[in-house]
Amino acid sequence: MNKPLEIAALSGAEATVEMLRAHGVEVVFGLCGDTSLPLYDALQRSSLSHVLTRDERHAAYMADGYARVTGKVGVCEGPSGGGATYILPGLVEANESSVPVLGINTDISVSSRNRFTLTELDQKSLFKPLTKWNAVIDRAADIPRTFRQAFEAMTSGRPGAAHIGLPFDVQNGPVERADVWGDPSLGAFPSRRTSPDPEAVALAARMLRKAKNPLFICGGGVVLSGAEAELCALAEKLNAPVATTISGKGSIDERCAHSVGVVGSNGGTPQTRAVVDAADLVVFVGCRAGSVTTERWRHPAPGAARIIHIDADPQVPGRNYQVDVPLVGDAKLALAALLEAVTAREGDLTPVDVQKREKFAAFEALAKSDETPIKPERVVFELQRILDPDAIVVADPGTPCPYFSAYYQVKGAGRRYFSNRAHGALGYAMAAAMGAHIGRPAVKTVAVMGDGSFGMCVGELETAVRLKMPVTFIVISNAVYGWIKAGQKAGYGARYFSVDFGVTDHARVAEAFGVRGFRVTDPSQLKSVLKKAIEIQGPSLVDIVCQPLHEAKAPVSEWIA
Ligand SMILES: Cc1ncc(C[n+]2csc(CCOP(=O)(O)OP(=O)(O)O)c2C)c(N)n1
């Protein structure tokens, strides 16, 4: 017989809220719907804050940006049907970027299944291949353990996204209060760190001792794991250079002598490639050695360097390169173990210094140009001069990502710059920056996007205004899907096709939402306008009429080829 209802003191919706709180969640990003009414009623009575967004995709991107800067699980929610299909892109990006984001979609009642009910959708199948872990809950009593499993899956091993489907009648069903508990340490990542095999560590240390030109290439794993101090100490002890992927920016203070900057085909330059090619030992750290980082597995060239590969995911080392020593474990623990095991070596960073000087000399020549339309280099240069070192910059694909990845120098270690590198979907930066601002409100946050991206996220300007967010949005405006047009130039004889669109005055659009808008066409005005926009207490937008990528020369030809 069922227990009397007095014991089952919580409804499913209340238990959901309590399970989030038990894991340290403070904020939920999302958008309402019919099937979410019980959940919203429970949220209304709780201490959780709720950020109402204008699109579920952006709720997920906000949760992603929030998670990246706080080290805590980001949570987003939406209703059934379209709410689920709209939230999906954000979960996909987070999952592939190893960022713990929990997506909750409410759903039609279990009792309404298979009856042509409006918004019915197989959420379990939809999210299964795209998240690290997912479930649709059939009984309210299963809510506590389902949430516990989701948090454990998201934050342990390689972090990732999880999804939970929460039917309407499940939200109204009974849950025993005593079962509503969670391990708060699973609300932050990485939880349950593991160390690599000590024998493999000893082998790697020996290999590092023998190497003439060792090089670290760090992916997102260093910042995700909080391993910046261990990396820096190891690089100093070995006097070895440290390069990063785009997601790895923040692994090391880019002003320091050991830092090489970003390598690869979206932000790497001939100079950073030369450093990779000179290495006789590459240590990949929390890095998948994917197509962009390695320029399609050509740099490092297979066999040209010995490989040590540190990763929390055992499936990563050896996937793309023949690995001499796989170190499977958390980056912080693995680097600490290596630091213990290696002996100091002399090492000469002069060649790295020469390459860096050459790279930035070429950049500055363009960055100081007074030509119109404004060169993207100038945008990076002026912003770099204005922003405080602790500011957060989020870059969209198109012009922003390669230019900022290459030339915007992260001052200090930790997450201060990021882009959506798993799928590179346009329209990520605005919402991700808003999530980042909520996670780290004391610092300035800036989103840089192309006008193609702007068209995909403009609705969230209303959210920024409603919540009075002092985030600055920068639009690189060129009335073209520039990256693709540049590809048509590089590879298809400049037979341009269906890549140009009309000019929009983004500053006026911003003003219509209540955002302070500025439009810049003259390079000499850029610095003062950016400064003014950044100092505004609420949201601001700077529309910068820029040179399109297909008209740029170096290094864009390298990136597009
Ligand atoms: C959702 C999505 N659709 C299509 C693409 C393919 N794509 C990559 S870059 C790009 C052009 C970007 O245009 P814009 O945002 O205007 O920036 P620009 O390249 O002009 O600087 C496109 C269409 C994508 N990355 N994401």
Ligand 1 centroid from CA 485, angstroms: 10
Integer Cα distance of 491 and 484 in angstroms: 10
User: Is residue 397 lining ligand 1, measured as CB closer than 6 Å?
Assistant: yes
Q: Are the C-beta atoms of residues 341 and 512 closer than 8 Å to each other?
A: no
Integer Cα distance of 181 and 187 in angstroms: 12
C-beta atoms surrounding 354 within 10 Å: 13
pLDDT at residue 553, rounded to an integer: 76
Nearest atom in ligand 1 to the alpha carbon of residue 423 is 25
Ligand 1 centroid from CA 423, angstroms: 11
Integer Cα distance of 284 and 294 in angstroms: 11
Tokens of 11: 């409804």
Ligand 1 centroid from CA 450, angstroms: 8
Ligand 1 centroid from CA 453, angstroms: 7
User: Is residue 499 lining ligand 1, measured as CB closer than 6 Å?
Assistant: no
Mean pLDDT of 127-144: 98
Tokens of 347: 């090492």
User: Is residue 460 lining ligand 1, measured as CB closer than 6 Å?
Assistant: no
- Give the pLDDT band of residue 560 (cuts 50, 70, 90): low
Nearest atom in ligand 1 to the alpha carbon of residue 548 is 20
Instruction: Note the maximum CA span of the chain.
Output: 81
- Give the pLDDT band of residue 556 (cuts 50, 70, 90): low
Pick from 451, 483, 546, 549 the residue to mutate for probing ligand 1's pocket: most ligand atoms within 8 Å of its CB: 483
Integer Cα distance of 150 and 164 in angstroms: 8
This prediction has a pTM of 0.97
C-beta atoms surrounding 199 within 10 Å: 9
Mean pLDDT of 258-273: 97
User: Is residue 556 lining ligand 1, measured as CB closer than 6 Å?
Assistant: no
User: Is residue 549 lining ligand 1, measured as CB closer than 6 Å?
Assistant: yes
Q: Are the C-beta atoms of residues 106 and 33 closer than 8 Å to each other?
A: yes
Question: How is the beta sheet containing 27-30 ordered, strand by strand?
Answer: 49-52, 27-30, 74-78, 101-107, 162-167, 133-136
DSSP E strand boundaries for 286-340: 306-311, 325-328
Mean pLDDT of 21-38: 98
Integer Cα distance of 255 and 533 in angstroms: 26
Integer Cα distance of 296 and 290 in angstroms: 7
Q: Is the pLDDT of residue 559 over 90?
A: no
Q: Within a 13 Å sphere around the CA of 496, how many CA atoms are in the beta-carbon half? A: 12
User: Is residue 402 lining ligand 1, measured as CB closer than 6 Å?
Assistant: no
Percent of the chain with pLDDT over 90: 96
Nearest atom in ligand 1 to the alpha carbon of residue 449 is 15
DSSP-derived letter for residue 194 is: -
Atom 13 in ligand 1: which residue has the minimum CA distance?
Answer: 481
Give 560 or 29, the one with higher predicted confidence: 29
Q: Are the C-beta atoms of residues 480 and 454 closer than 8 Å to each other?
A: no
- Give the pLDDT band of residue 143 (cuts 50, 70, 90): very high
User: Is residue 483 lining ligand 1, measured as CB closer than 6 Å?
Assistant: yes
User: Is residue 65 lining ligand 1, measured as CB closer than 6 Å?
Assistant: no
Ligand 1 centroid from CA 171, angstroms: 40
- Pairing outcome for strands 10-11 and 174-175: antiparallel
Integer Cα distance of 315 and 308 in angstroms: 14
Atom 11 in ligand 1: which residue has the minimum CA distance?
Answer: 481
Tokens of 523: 């390079």
User: Is residue 399 lining ligand 1, measured as CB closer than 6 Å?
Assistant: yes
Q: Are the C-beta atoms of residues 251 and 231 closer than 8 Å to each other?
A: yes
**Three-state DSSP string of 212-251:** CCEEEEECCHHHHHCCHHHHHHHHHHHCCCEEECCCCCCC
DSSP-derived letter for residue 118 is: T
Nearest atom in ligand 1 to the alpha carbon of residue 456 is 1
Pick from 481, 500, 546 the residue to mutate for probing ligand 1's pocket: most ligand atoms within 8 Å of its CB: 481
Q: Is the pLDDT of residue 2 over 90?
A: no
Ligand 1 centroid from CA 328, angstroms: 35
User: Is residue 174 lining ligand 1, measured as CB closer than 6 Å?
Assistant: no
Nearest atom in ligand 1 to the alpha carbon of residue 455 is 15
Integer Cα distance of 507 and 540 in angstroms: 9
pLDDT at residue 558, rounded to an integer: 67
Q: Which of 46, 55, 41 is nearest to 27 (CA)?
A: 46
Ligand 1 centroid from CA 183, angstroms: 41
403 CB-near residues (< 8 Å, 6+ apart): 267, 376, 377, 379, 380
Nearest atom in ligand 1 to the alpha carbon of residue 396 is 15
Locus of tokens 């009593």 = 141
Integer Cα distance of 366 and 407 in angstroms: 12
Nearest atom in ligand 1 to the alpha carbon of residue 486 is 19
Integer Cα distance of 16 and 182 in angstroms: 11
User: Is residue 376 lining ligand 1, measured as CB closer than 6 Å?
Assistant: no
Average of per-residue pLDDT values in the chain: 96
Ligand 1 centroid from CA 521, angstroms: 22
Mean pLDDT of 81-107: 98
pLDDT at residue 89, rounded to an integer: 98
Q: Are the C-beta atoms of residues 374 and 429 closer than 8 Å to each other?
A: no
Q: Are the C-beta atoms of residues 399 and 549 closer than 8 Å to each other?
A: yes
User: Is residue 22 lining ligand 1, measured as CB closer than 6 Å?
Assistant: no
Q: Are the C-beta atoms of residues 437 and 429 closer than 8 Å to each other?
A: no
pLDDT at residue 557, rounded to an integer: 59
Integer Cα distance of 244 and 410 in angstroms: 12
DSSP-derived letter for residue 119 is: T
Ligand 1 centroid from CA 461, angstroms: 20
Tokens of 106: 């409410």
Q: Is the pLDDT of residue 7 over 80?
A: no
Q: Is the pLDDT of residue 1 over 50?
A: no
Locus of tokens 């009648």 = 169
Nearest atom in ligand 1 to the alpha carbon of residue 89 is 1
Tokens of 45: 């009575």
Q: Are the C-beta atoms of residues 261 and 362 closer than 8 Å to each other?
A: no
In sequence order, the β-bridge partners of residue 368 are: none
C-beta atoms surrounding 90 within 10 Å: 34
pLDDT at residue 454, rounded to an integer: 98
- What number of residues does the chain have? 561
